[in-house]
Every structure is written in structure tokens, then in C-alpha cells.
Amino acid sequence: MKYITKVSLLALSISLTTGANAENNQLNVYTWAESIDPVLIENFQKETGIEITLDSYTSNEDLLAKLKSGSSDYDVVFPSQHFVKIMIQEGLLKNIDAKNMTAFKQVDDRWKNKWWDKSSEYSIPFVYGTAGYTVNRDKYKGPANSWKEFFEPTGAAAGNVAVFSTPDEIIPAAQLYLDIDFCTEKRTDMKKVYQLLKKQKEYVAVYSSDNISSRISSGEVVMHNWWDGDSMRARKNNNAPIEYAQPKEGLVGWLDSMVVPRNSRNSDNAKTFINWMSEKDNATIEYNYYAHSSAVAIDESKAIHKKENSPEIFPTAFIKFTRACSPAAQKLVDKVWTKLLQ
């Protein structure tokens, strides 16, 4: 079941304060499930008088479909790098002159002017990390240092593997394992990807991107596709007996940015929110909560996730970021995934 939360926070009768630019005092945010610290939402509303309505999704595909439908009413969304590129190309985003926003000064130089937004007009980088898989150590005692264990499971893992419900990160993972380029247009290469996923399907318990924490933490499955920081939160906050794998073939990299959809009716409020979230103190609170690496400056003295206690977000494995594929390459990806799930 698709995981959807809708949090309508605060009916506080707080008067406008500090430069809110809030002509409607409303802001509709659509973001990854459980990604923003509720404390930050409350603090933002108190400081600005802007009331936030928060919806969530579990895949870039869901976000893209929502924006393309034209039925959404969102002011800030958080796509990954290749989807920022796609959304710019399809005219789905508003040019917010990001490079001249206060938030841009907080962005780490290595994430400025990247290929998905070369002139930094549309996006402010937010967080980054990897997609891989997690194992339940109470149920699985084998190695977790290769994609081989995930795609060709044996022993306790056979029949107890869970895979993301969309192809965005699982096909690149298969390509890493097979040493095939991301976004290949070679049919022979994608046939190898299909054959690998088809063989794995015999051992897959479920394709799902929802409720991952409960499924892997309880031992309902012994291996699950997951993201680095989410796995770490379950280990640290819930004492889940889990380990985030470090495949020798590499992990799939991602970076989520804050952008404003073309149809936003509260774009001034959206920019206020983006600038506010990028302030060092707020970014530090978010880093400690969300547990993914911050793309903007944080107060390291207050950061609770350090290299010595957070191997998930300080990976030893090689990282390769996904890209926006050509139409021909994307057609092959869609074909493989559709055929797999038939």
C-alpha cells in the first residue's frame, strides 16, 4: 500500500513576523516520506506565520507523475538530480534564480552548477546519499559486500528478498553488478539486466518501497533495498539488528534538491522556506533527524552522525550517481521493468 501522510500542522493564530512574504500564508510541500523533522515544520510556522501542508511520496516516479498530471498544487518538491534535469527539460519547474538566493551561499561548492542545473537557476541542493540494500543480522549471517548476495541470494536470503517497487535505482544497481554503463542504449546489455532481475524474481518476497523499516527490522524479509540514512535511523533509533551493505561493485548515488513547480501559487513562500531550511542551525537539526548527508553547511560541533558511528553515510564502497537517460535508453529501462513485473 502506498505510504501517504498528510500533516496539516498548526492552526495557530500567529501574526506575521520577520519578512515572511506570505501573501496567502500557505505553503504546500511534497517530499520524501518522513524526511523533514516535524520540529522544523513547527519552528518555521512560528517564525514566519506561513502554514505548511505536507504530503509525501516514496519514489521520484510518483513525484514526476504528479507534476505532469497538472493536478498538483505544490510549492516545494524534492526530486533527485536526474529528475531535476527531466523536470527542467519538460518545463515543470519555475526559474527561481537559485544562484542569487541566500540559500545558495550555504551550498557546498561541489554541488553547485552541476549537470542537472548547470547555471543553478532552478534548484538548491538539499541532501545526498546512496541506494543499496540492508540485511537483518538476526536472520542472515552471510556476507554483505557484493550485489551478488542480493541479486543471486542463497540460504536464508532465498525467498526473503525485498526490492524497490520502481526501476529508478534497482536497474542501476544491476548495471553496477554486471559492469554495464548507466543509461546504456545497447539492447544486449539490457537483456543481461533483464535476465538477472528475472532470475532474482524467483527469490523476491515483495517489490515495495513502503514500510521498509518494519519489514526488514522485524525479519519479515532478510534483505531489502534501502537508502543509507533510513537504514541508519532504524539501527540507531530502533536498535534494529540490521547492516547496510557496502557492495564492492559500488552503490547508487543520489542528491535531492529543493525546487519550485511551475504551477506554484506561493513561490515567494517557497523561497522563504528554502532559504530557512538552508540556514546552518536548521540544516544541522535536519541532518541529525533525517540522517542523510547535508548538501549545505551544518554546525559540525552539533552533528551527531560522525564517521566513527555512521558507516552508512560514510561508505567505503564506490559511488556512482544516476543520470537522466536518453529517450532510447529510458525506453529500454521501461521495457525491462514492465516485462519483469508481468
DSSP letters for 119-165:
T-SS-EEEEEEEEEEEEETTT--S--SSTHHHHS--GGGTT-EEE-S
Note whether 247 and 264 are same-domain residues.
no
Q: Which residues are annotated as a binding site?
A: 34
Is 180 inside a domain boundary?
A: yes
Say yes or no to pLDDT of 18 above 90: no
Q: Which of 11, 51, 40, 46 is nearest to 266 (CA)?
A: 51
Phi, psi for 228 (deg, rounded to 5): -55, -55
In terms of DSSP H, where are the helices of the chain? Answer: 38-48, 60-69, 81-89, 148-151, 167-178, 187-201, 212-217, 228-238, 267-277, 280-290, 327-340
- Predicted local distance difference test score (pLDDT) of residue 70: 85
57 residue type, one letter: Y
How many folded domains does the chain comprise? 2
Q: Which residues pair with 29 in a beta bridge?
A: 54, 76
3 falls within a domain: no
The residue-averaged pLDDT of 205-230 equals: 97
Give me the CATH number covering residue 124. Answer: 3.40.190.10
What are residue 2's phi and psi, to 5 degrees?
-65, 135
Residues 6+ apart with CB under 8 A from 55: 4, 5, 6, 28, 29, 30, 31, 74
In a domain, 12, yes or no: no
Q: Are residues 280 and 295 in the same domain?
A: yes
Mean pLDDT along residues 20-46: 88
Contact 228, 295 (CB under 8 A): no
**Nine cell digits for residue 213:** 523499516
Domain assignment present for residue 34? The answer is yes
Q: Is residue 33 included in any domain, yes or no?
A: yes
**Model confidence over 224-283: pLDDT tens digits?**
999 999 999 999 999 999 999 999 999 999 999 999 999 999 999 999 999 999 999 999
Element (H, E) at 21: none
Are the CB atoms for 262 and 66 separated by under 8 Å? no
pLDDT class for 22, splitting at 50, 70, 90? very low
Specify if 318 maps to a domain: yes
Task: Please check whether residue 16 lies inside any domain of the structure.
Answer: no
Residues 208 and 237 in one domain: yes
Question: Does 144 share its domain with 101?
Answer: no
| Annotated binding-site members for spermidine | 34
Per-residue pLDDT at 76 exceeds 70? yes
| Per-residue confidence (pLDDT) for residue 23, from 0 to 100 | 52
Separate counts of helices (H) and strands (E) for the chain: 11, 12
Q: Examine the pLDDT at 19 and tell me if it is beyond 80.
A: no
